[in-house]
Amino acid sequence: MHHIQLTNAAFEGRNSVYLLGAADDAAPTTLVDTGIATPDVRAELRDALAARGASFADVDKILLTHWHHDHAGLAGAIQAESDATVYVHEADAPLVAQEPDAVDALHERQREYLDQWGMPADKQRELLDFVGTHDGLRGEPADVTPLSDGDTVSVGALDLEAVHLPGHAAGLLAYSFERDGRREAFVGDAVLPKYTPNVGGADVRVDRPLQQYLDSLERVESLALDRAWPGHRGPIFAPTERARDIAAHHDERTERVRTVVEEHAPATAWEVSAELFGTLSTIHILHGPGEAYAHLDHLVREGELEQTDDGYVSA
């Protein structure tokens, strides 16, 4: 396996792409994720594959962890040169295929949430301008093969099991496998080594985003992984402990959100976000209030807050 790091200046820093099978004539050449669809990143990936004796045309399989552009952006371009099979969870398949109804529904739901979260008009315009100018990062549509939880994709001697971990994205998949007596997994953005994946704003299609993400972290623990290969930065050598740390972080944030509402009620998701994160720009204009909303929604469902026309108040 080769770990390739690609530039990502638009979102959360360098992306990790994993190349399997290139040195094994009996195994299909496989990529886990692809990076963002910019000319520079495309050239980076071509060069990285060439250094390992492969090219876009050699790729047989692409396993996507989720639909976000920095993970799936180049899948369509690679498939166009190689006729590779592109695998992705069934919940994210319509977005990777860029089905117009699915893309329009996502954008419509985003716009509805921006109003619901109380985002000011000028920040909405700033966000929509950013999204519009970066729309090309999603790349070309791909012909996808949907996966469900528990499905298996074989890559030579490795059998990669699809593990559904919704929260950051509705269709986020990890791919779990055994190697040299260790249990490992490609985990995408389900668990990251240096910061916590966004929930609430990163995929507005997710119902009860915080609860689903906490459930996914419990599932990561249950996998008893010896090593995890995330979608950004380097490997995680204690995945169970990292999942527990992220869950504890969200417990602390939930308490912080409760305190903000008690001090500033009625408070909108945008106002809570300002207390948590301060001034926001670029994609964080979406992620900040989305994160606040995920915790507010969780507290409402737990009966600790109420949502009114003016914002959230203590129950």
CA distance 157 to 141: 30
Identify the DSSP state of 197.
P
Q: What is the pLDDT of residue 10?
A: 57
What pLDDT is attached to residue 131? 85
pLDDT of 211: 98
Q: What is the pLDDT at residue 134?
A: 76
Mean pLDDT by 10 residues, the chain (315 residues): 84 84 82 95 96 95 97 97 98 98 96 96 94 84 98 95 98 96 97 94 97 98 98 95 97 97 97 96 94 98 96 95
List all residues 6 or more positions away from 23 whose beta carbon is below 8 Å from its beta carbon.
52, 53
Residue 25 pLDDT:
67
CA distances to 53, 88, 205 from 144, rounded to whole Å, are 26, 7, 20
Query: Looking at residue 135, what is its pLDDT?
Result: 75
70-97: per-residue pLDDT in tens? 999 999 999 999 999 999 999 999 999 9
At 47-73, the pLDDT tens digits run 999 999 999 999 999 999 999 999 999
CATH class of 2-314: alpha beta
pLDDT digits (tens, 9 = 90+) for 225-236: 999 999 999 999
Query: Is residue 190 a contact partner of residue 168, using CB atoms and an 8 Å limit?
Result: yes
User: Residue 196: which residues within 8 A CB-CB, separation 6 or more?
Assistant: 246, 249, 250
